[in-house]
Amino acid sequence: MALAEAGARGRLLRWPRVLLFGDSITEYSFQENGWGAYLAERLVRKCDVVNRGISGYNTRWAKLILPRLITESTSADSIVAVTIFFGANDSALKELNPQQHVPLEEYAANLKSMVQYLKSVDVTADRIILITPPPLHESAWEKACLAKGDKLNRCNATTGQYAQACVQVARECCTDVLDLWTLMQKNQDFSSYLSDGLHLSTKGNSFLAAQLWSRLENKLSALPSLLPYWRDVDHTNPEASLL
């Protein structure tokens, strides 16, 4: 059978998508032992896990990008889950990092705007997961800043205010939320979750992956595996199994 004929006979194969939208902590999530890679491995043959992490970005910029990533006419119906993971840059101290800093009230409004946009293109609230920024280990991050010739430009107490705002937005918008800032600090030495005081270590990636999977597993468990297991393909008439 010619490939063109096979294509005409078969239905277009469309993988559902899990969209990871965030800053560098999302962008780096496909690195070795990353939390995004963990999800992709768990969902192979069921979903495409799409990394749309953009290092250094804040919610002010992210809300402008989101409508360019998902539109009702082209892609919203294939989205089975979206994570929105911002705050580590928004919470930078204004006087030391004005380019990335976003005021707390605007941060909350931007998150709410993104959730409302997703709902407007029929990505329902039960498919949206907000993730708070992780806690900041100030002494470790200060070393990273000094190595670049900068002063310490973030503090954990301020990051916590942004995390609380994220949780409140999730409550108001009826979405799920992963309060990473609080959960990681249940371990007294939370520095082990961070590689440089801000970004996740291998242990931090594993922690986030486990927490997120516990929320996604129920949402996605009913999704079928795409295409039959190889032993179930009729080798004498593969078209019957595959088209």
List pLDDT tens digits, range 58-92: 999 999 999 999 987 666 778 999 999 999 999 99
Average pLDDT over residues 118-124: 93
Name the β-bridge partners of 194: 200
Boundaries of every domain in the chain: 17-222
**Residues 197 and 139 sit within 8 Å (Cβ to Cβ):** yes
Name the more confident of 239 and 133.
133
pLDDT given at position 29: 98
Run of H or E including 130: strand 128-131
pLDDT classification of 243: cutoffs 50, 70, 90: confident
The answer to whether the CB of 87 falls within 8 A of the CB of 133 is yes
Quick one: pLDDT at residue 11? 74
By percentage, how much of the chain surpasses pLDDT 70?
94
Name residues whose C-beta falls within 8 Å of residue 3's C-beta, 6 or more positions apart in sequence.
none
In this prediction, residues 193-200 reach a mean pLDDT of: 95
Question: Catalytic amino acids?
Answer: 24, 196, 199
pLDDT of 149 above 60: yes
pLDDT at 222: 82
Homologous superfamily of the 17-222 domain (CATH): SGNH hydrolase (3.40.50.1110)
The backbone torsions φ and ψ at residue 78, rounded to the nearest 5 degrees and listed phi first, read -90, -5
d(CA 3, CA 77): 28
3-state DSSP assignment of residue 51: strand
Q: Are 226 and 15 in contact (CB under 8 A)?
A: yes
Residue 121 token pair: 């293109």
Q: What token pair was written down for 240?
A: 């019957």
Q: Are 232 and 241 in contact (CB under 8 A)?
A: yes
Q: For the chain, what is the mean pLDDT?
A: 92
Query: Is residue 37 predicted with pLDDT exceeding 90?
Result: yes
pLDDT of 197 reads 92
Q: How far apart are CA 144 and CA 133, in angstroms?
A: 18
Q: Which H/E stretch holds residue 99?
A: none
Distance in angstroms (rounded) separating the CA atoms of residues 130 and 86 = 9
The stretch 130-153 carries a mean pLDDT of 92
**Residue 188 clears pLDDT 80, i.e. is over it:** no
pLDDT of residue 134: 97
> Helix or strand or coil: residue 233?
coil
